[in-house]
Amino acid sequence: MAVRAGCRRCAEDGRHNKKERLNGENMKATLRKMGMDFIDNGNGSDVGNYRVRAEFTDKKGLRVIADFGGYDRRELYQRANGKTACRIAQKNALHINGTYRDEEGTGRDYAYRLRENGFDFSKYSFTISGILAFLSDVTGENYTEVEFCN
């Protein structure tokens, strides 16, 4: 299923009513800008907005609404003096705040579900290519392009 943003303007012109295939099996992801735009915020992101939203159906058939953002992922480590400290393990990591409905209709945390099943979030960054890679991995489709919707 094509990623769609839920943007009323985009939905009105019928852009999200079908899968958007580019060349054969390549897909275009439509992301809705939910945060403030930026040109260069110093974190290495090419997304251009602090938070973008997508709606998609994953490999297991779950309908998901997810917001993507960036953060500096930290990890604990042991100092030479035996004390623990915290350091940045990944700058501009991809943060996923997603929701799906379970069989009873209750909203559930999608990222928590993925973590429970051993999903590795550390390979994704808050960049266009990082978002496309995440969407491709969880949906089984091949996302190669992004279209932004306000």
Q: Is the pLDDT of residue 5 over 80?
A: no
Helix (H) or strand (E) holding 146: strand 142-149
Pairing of strands 52-57, 107-109: unpaired
Q: Is the pLDDT of residue 19 over 70?
A: no
**Cα distance between residue 110 and residue 64, in whole Å:** 7
Q: What is the pTM of this model?
A: 0.80
Neighbours of 127 (CB within 10 A): 17
**Cα distance between residue 69 and residue 125, in whole Å:** 9
Confidence of residue 15 (pLDDT cuts 50, 70, 90): very low
Which has the higher per-residue pLDDT, 95 or 46? 95
Maximum CA pair distance of the chain?
Answer: 63
**Can you give the three-state secondary structure of 22-44, one letter per residue?**
CCCCEEEEEEEECCCECCCCCCC
pLDDT at position 87: 94
- Which tens digit of pLDDT belongs to each residue from 92-106? 999 999 999 988 989
